[in-house]
Structure 1
Amino acid sequence: MGAKQIWYSSDENVGNGYMEITEVRENAFVAMDMGFDQNNNRDFTDEGEEEPTASFILEETEGGTKVTWTFDITGVSGFEKMMVVGLEMFLGPPYEEGLAALKERVENRPNFKADISLQEVAAITYAGMAVTTSHDPDEIAQAMGDTYGQIMAAITQSGATMGEGYPLAVTTEYSETSIGMICGIPVTEESTIDSEVVTIRQSPEGAALRAIHYGSYNNLEATHEEINQYAGYYGYEITGMPWEVYVTDPSMEADTTKWITEVYYPVN
């Protein structure tokens, strides 16, 4: 709610205007305020003039959903009433085209298996170490296991304090033959590390798409592909490399179907 779109156009059939979402009831209703710049001065606040509103009304029907797109205006009097009567002829065709486009988009939505959502992510302080490996799952597991072991040893030897959160891996490079990453273990902000290869770092922060992956690490590539597809479908721009957070400790849970991994991609 509160999302707003403003447009300016020299085309007299388009003009200047705005739409702002003012109410949302999930899977039921969306209401919008609208404004039009009649004098081409980019001012949408003409005093004493009622601005129109629009809404999408969703009704569950047998085998689908009925969508009604409304255009409402109040405070109309005199000759303006005759103008309103002709609105259906003017608005009808573009409304029908818009509803048809909405129907096509919804019905062609990919079937996303992962639980994907937009998150505002806070930075995490962690002790990290760089590692590069091939795409072979066994080699990745071996390399990451060895790297986390060295990080834990450095944390212990330095007297650093473990922080809240789970082990993570931030991708730094990706090619057809190799993957570069920074493996990390959270520590407190005031921690220091006495090591040439393990350093204190900050994880990415800000807006990110998060996918929750259930199961073996061997299937993580499919979740990465799905989150990229999700970003494309919903118009998100991926702005950097992904990172993974390993919620489940494999040494504490042998059943891979119970493993949980969070996959993040920074976006605009």
Structure 2
Amino acid sequence: MKILKKVLLVLVILIALIAVIALILPSEVAVERSITINASPASIYEEVANLRKTGKWSPWDLKDPNITYVFSGPESGVGAKKKWSSEHEEVGNGTQEVIEAIPNQKVRTELYFGGFDEPSYANFTLEENGDATEVTWTLEGDMGSNPIFKIMGLFMDSMVGPAYEEGLANLKSRVESKPIFTADISVTTAEPINYLAIRETFDVTNPETIGPRMGEIYGQLLGYINKNGVMGAGQPMSVYINLNETGWEADVAIPVADPGEVSDESISVGQTPGGKVVKAIHMGDYNKLDDTHKQLQAYMQFNELEANGQGYEIYVSDPTESDTSQWRTDVYYPIK
């Protein structure tokens, strides 16, 4: 009986201590780690603002090869959301959503972990420092009034900090190995485009012949459109059919609202695939478009993006503009 009383007394004391701890300990916890990355803020921002890319460097994403994701919202920035599910004890289940995004400066996400009702917040801040960027990754959380959770909060830095260091090292390695892109490249969505076209094969070893021939084709297409009352629906374009070192086969095209029945056998009807695309904005002479295509292909390879249909170019600017640096061409590669 005396032993039981002593045990009960110890339990009462422990409960009292825990209650006192619950009153004294703060409920808020914070973890912070930083690293210097030899890259521009823009190059880093696109990795942390796009939740689809965190699987390439996040230590938790890399722990479980069988982790599953459901993505929603935009590709990047505010509203982008990721839901994950894993049987790995260190990964578990949860959601993450971008709630603030200042391009090339800051990304703030809201996290809900399985078993916790209160959200946590992770922040990335990017501060340019010469040719490098200081990247700071923080975690903010509220452990609530539960004394056990408050005690856990005391060890949060030692539990999460090493993983943050690993993640930042992974991010640094990924960004510093990234190809340099001078073109403005992004992943976005595009609507399908109906078009009328004439298919032609160009000799890329004689580039001076390409422009005049495309001009002839556009003239023929415009003549047909005007004669038959077809409504145009955009800037001139070309759709790649086959590309090789010496030849370029393409549908030289003009977008239309409704092609209707085509009476000219030399003119065909086509449609670009809608959905996700990689888009590059090329500024300058058409003769330098090949470099933009190579950058797009390198971007797709680096980000492991798979093509999903024929690419196409839209000639946004009027080529009669004498200043070729103002010529704009939007290049699209449909992806899965």
> Does the pair score TM above 0.5?
yes
- 1:109–1:84 CA distance, 2 compared to 1 (3 A): same
- Matched with 1:150 is 220
Residue 37 to residue 260, structure 1, CA distance change in 2 (3 Å): closer
Alpha-carbon distance between aligned partners in 2 of 1:59 and 1:17, rounded to the nearest angstrom: 29
Q: Which of the residues 124, 128, 135 maps onto 1:56?
A: 124
Q: Which ranges in structure 2 are unaligned for 5 or more consecutive residues?
A: 1-77
User: Counterpart of 1:266?
Assistant: 334
Larger helix fraction of residues: 2
Corresponding position of 2:183? 114
**Equivalent position amino acid for 2:332 in 1:** Y
Report matched runs for 1:169-184 at 5 Å.
169-184=238-253
What is the percent sequence identity of the aligned residues? 39
Read off the aligned partner of 2:296 and give its amino acid letter: I
1:171: how far off? Answer: 0.7
Q: Secondary structure at the match of 2:242?
A: strand
> What do the CA deviations read for 1:73-124 (whole angstroms, capped 9, x no partner)?
2114423322211122211211101112223333444332112233432333
In 2, Cα distance between equivalents of 1:61 and 1:103? 15
Match of 2:289 in 1: 220
Q: Choose 82-91 or 254-263, whichever is displaced more.
A: 254-263
Q: Is the 8 A contact 2:259 2:269 kept in 1?
A: no
Instruction: Please list, as runs of the form range in 1=range in 2, the aligned pairs for 1:76-155 lying within 5 A after superposition.
Output: 76-136=145-205, 137-155=207-225
- Structure (1 or 2) with the larger CA radius of gyration: 2
Does structure 2 conserve the Cα–Cα contact (< 8 Å) formed by 1:160 and 1:191?
A: no
Secondary structure (helix, strand or coil) at the match of 2:174 reads helix
Partner deviation per Cα, 1:122-158 (whole Å, 9 max, x = no partner): 33333211122332213433543343343234334x4
Cα distance in 2 for residues equivalent to 1:248 and 1:63: 33
SS of structure 2 residue aligned to 1:14: coil
TM-score, structure 2 as length reference: 0.66
Q: Per-residue deviation at 1:52?
A: 2.8
Distance 1:205 1:50 in 2: 39
Alpha-carbon distance in structure 1 between the residues aligned to 2:191 and 2:83? 31
Q: CA RMSD in A?
A: 2.7
Amino acid of the residue matched to residue 27 of structure 1?
N
- How far the C-alpha of 1:244 sits from its partner, in A, is 0.9
* Distance change in 2, residues 1:184/1:21 (3 Å): same
* Partner Cα separation in structure 1 for residue 194 and residue 119 of structure 2: 50
Give the 3 Å change call, closer, same or farther, for CA 79–228 of structure 1 in structure 2: same
The count of aligned residue pairs is: 257
Alpha carbons of structure 1 residues 220 and 20: separation in structure 2 relative to 1, 3 Å: same
Query: In the superposition, relative to structure 1, how do residues 107 and 175 fare at CA in structure 2: closer, same or farther (>3 Å)?
Result: closer
Unaligned runs of 5+ in 1: 39-45
